[in-house]
Structure 1
Amino acid sequence: MGRNNSRRLSGSQDFRQRLVLATLTSTPITIKDIRAGEGGLRPHEMTLLRLLNNVSDEHVIDVNDTGTKVGYNPGVVVGGKDLEHDCGEHRGIGYFIEPLLLLGLFARSPLSVESARITNDTKDPSVDTFRMVTLHMLKHFGVPLEGMELKIESRGAPPHGGGEVLLRVPNINSTLNAVNWVDEGMVKRIRGVEFSTIVSPRIVSRIHYAARGLFNKFILDVHIFTDHRVVSSGGCGLYISSLK
């Protein structure tokens, strides 16, 4: 990658955003001084590079021996069906869903990816947040919801995960709409999900009634779904969430 043909950046901040924007604008970039003296790229960032490699074509990814410098010459996001990606144990699946949503909209063909490992943790947005909030927000930008799907096959909690999520992203045939979304309005209803894995269903029921008792003091239109997962779909560890 020629020095004069790429945009030169420094540091590890906004690593995902840099790669996504470089891909969407077809701009070669070189990122140097990535945690120099601290091991360079983290495992989840290397996993993100492998994900880009799976959904793209005609691209070049060059990582030096120490992991402190990345050269990226983006190609074409081809999309594809029945793709599989192991997200690893260091970050949740939500870390990878965000760039997949953005890239999948502009791919050559519809994108269908099955991602595995951690579905819910405290570092990244949960898969429930993407399914119940983010996907519906995209319609304000002109993204059709037909063909858009995020299906939770099984849940996986840290440290080893064991969850599986199927993401389908359609292609858009036009440009996105600009949105002026300043006034958030009043809270008219509350929707949420309570889930648990490999514990007694009575625990999540107790959490459900406690949450309803709290929210009903402020608003009556409250609907909280419960999702109890047993061994076959509960991943590799115990987990309880009060609300997502």
Structure 2
Amino acid sequence: MGKTVYKKLKGSQSFRQRLLLSTLSSTPITIEDIRPNQTYSGLAKHEISLLRLFDTVSDGCIVEIYETGTKLKYKPGTIMGGRVNHPFQCDVSRSIGYYLEPLIVLCLFAKEPLNIRLKGTTNDSKDPSVDTFKSAAFHILKRFGVDFEAMSLKIESRGLPPNGGGEVVLSLPIVQSLTAVNWIDEGFVKKIRGVTFSTKVSSQFETSMIRAARGVVNPLVSDVHIFTDHRTGPPAGNSPGYGISLVAETTSGCYISVDTAAAHVRDEDTSGLADDVKKDLMPPEEIGEGIANTLLGEIAQSGVIDSSYQGCYFFFVLYVLKMFPRFASENFPNMGLKLLET
């Protein structure tokens, strides 16, 4: 066997995208200078957790992290998918949504359909929530010919920062063929759906969020339904908090989503509670009104995909183009595939 040639990269930016494209293209990579001058240098805990997840769903993956954590060698293996028998614990500093974005794209091209149980934080204010994956992301995948009925994401327990405690079960099919997409018509909003949740706090927080959100969107859209998901006991995870997810469906089949959560957070540098942990959480009325206005802002941008998922599906489209060069040359003659080679 010949010597493995690693593509050299620098810095911590676009870490997930680099791993994803490396794996899909079977290109070994070396990443150097990972936060070398910061107080807490090297790979973050959630990035190490993501590497473990890629290793879990692959066969023959080789990961080498240097002692300082500022250099990484990654040789991708074969994407296997299949049923993962043991729950995977995601680092709680990032939401499960941080891991779902690359995992869903990756395992569509696995050897077997994926079934995996993920534990950690289900909702936070940084990453797309598990709720919007169910109500928006899966519909976008359907556009590309993925079997919608075979996709599922069951929320067995909620988990909020700083201690998580959430648990979801993801089932994902593999693709045998892909559908060419000409997606430029955003349509008009015909209905809005949403869900509020609360863990280890009063259910009245959800009522307040719904009332405030409806105060913004009801004068504009007649078909609005926002459901509640109040959790207590073990299904409520390990930390108190509350939040809301909203999705606007358009006449052309687009799903525009927004979400947020109010919970105490950890400082990413120290892993301790952040300085503002003693402050009261944002009032539910402000959260409901704020997220409704954010949804209107996303709709006003007239996109067929909201800003939360544009990056994820941009890489999905790139891979489709590489796998189907004839489709790429016919539909994107000036684009080329150089982005996958950089």
Q: TM-score, normalised by structure 2?
A: 0.68
Secondary structure of the residue aligned to 1:146 is helix
- Superposition deviation, residue 4 in structure 1: 7.1
For each residue in 1:181-223, what CA deviation from the matched residue of structure 2 results, as whole angstroms up to 9, or x when unmatched? 2332221111111111112222312322332232111110111
Q: Which amino acid counterpart does residue 20 of structure 1 have in structure 2?
A: L
Kindly indicate whether the alpha-carbon contact (under 8 Å) linking 1:211 and 1:242 is maintained by their aligned counterparts in 2. no
Structure 2 stretches lacking a partner, 5+ long:
246-258, 260-342
User: Take 1:188 and 1:3, find their aligned partners in 2: how far apart are those partners?
Assistant: 57
For each residue in 1:151-174, what CA deviation from the matched residue of structure 2 results, as whole angstroms up to 9, or x when unmatched? 100101100011101111111112
- Superposition deviation, residue 233 in structure 1: 0.8
1:17 and 2:20 matched: no
Residue aligning to 1:33: 33
Q: List 4+ stretches of structure 1 deviating above 3 A.
A: none
Residue aligning to 1:161: 164
Secondary structure of the residue aligned to 2:167 is strand
Kindly indicate whether the alpha-carbon contact (under 8 Å) linking 2:121 and 2:164 is maintained by their aligned counterparts in 1. yes
Residue aligning to 1:200: 202
User: Take 1:178 and 1:60, find their aligned partners in 2: how far apart are those partners?
Assistant: 34
Kindly indicate whether the alpha-carbon contact (under 8 Å) linking 1:156 and 1:162 is maintained by their aligned counterparts in 2. yes
User: Take 2:20 and 2:132, find their aligned partners in 1: how far apart are those partners?
Assistant: 21
User: Take 2:220 and 2:124, find their aligned partners in 1: how far apart are those partners?
Assistant: 28
Distance 1:150 1:191, change over 3 A: same
Identity across matched positions, percent: 52
Alignment of 1:63-102 (within 5 A): 63-81=65-83, 82-102=85-105
Please provide the CA RMSD for this pair: 1.6
Q: Which amino acid counterpart does residue 118 of structure 2 have in structure 1?
A: S
User: Take 1:4 and 1:73, find their aligned partners in 2: how far apart are those partners?
Assistant: 9
Distance 1:178 1:68, change over 3 A: farther
Kindly indicate whether the alpha-carbon contact (under 8 Å) linking 2:194 and 2:244 is maintained by their aligned counterparts in 1. no
For each residue in 1:31-75, what CA deviation from the matched residue of structure 2 results, as whole angstroms up to 9, or x when unmatched? 111111321111100111111111111121111111111111111
1:147 and 2:150 matched: yes
Q: Which amino acid counterpart does residue 164 of structure 1 have in structure 2?
A: E
Secondary structure of the residue aligned to 2:190 is coil
Secondary structure of the residue aligned to 1:173 is coil
Q: Which amino acid counterpart does residue 177 of structure 1 have in structure 2?
A: T
For each residue in 1:74-100, what CA deviation from the matched residue of structure 2 results, as whole angstroms up to 9, or x when unmatched? 110111213421112211100001111
Distance 1:242 1:172, change over 3 A: closer
Secondary structure of the residue aligned to 1:217 is coil
Secondary structure of the residue aligned to 1:213 is helix
Secondary structure of the residue aligned to 1:188 is strand
User: Take 2:25 and 2:166, find their aligned partners in 1: how far apart are those partners?
Assistant: 33
- Superposition deviation, residue 242 in structure 1: 3.9
Q: TM-score, normalised by structure 1?
A: 0.94
1:182 and 2:184 matched: yes
Secondary structure of the residue aligned to 1:37 is coil
Kindly indicate whether the alpha-carbon contact (under 8 Å) linking 1:197 and 1:240 is maintained by their aligned counterparts in 2. yes
Distance 1:50 1:116, change over 3 A: same
- How many aligned residue pairs are there? 242
Distance 1:172 1:142, change over 3 A: same
User: Take 2:9 and 2:163, find their aligned partners in 1: how far apart are those partners?
Assistant: 34
Kindly indicate whether the alpha-carbon contact (under 8 Å) linking 1:154 and 1:165 is maintained by their aligned counterparts in 2. yes
Structure 1 stretches lacking a partner, 5+ long:
none
Secondary structure of the residue aligned to 2:124 is coil
Kindly indicate whether the alpha-carbon contact (under 8 Å) linking 1:83 and 1:112 is maintained by their aligned counterparts in 2. no
Residue aligning to 2:46: 44
1:125 and 2:153 matched: no
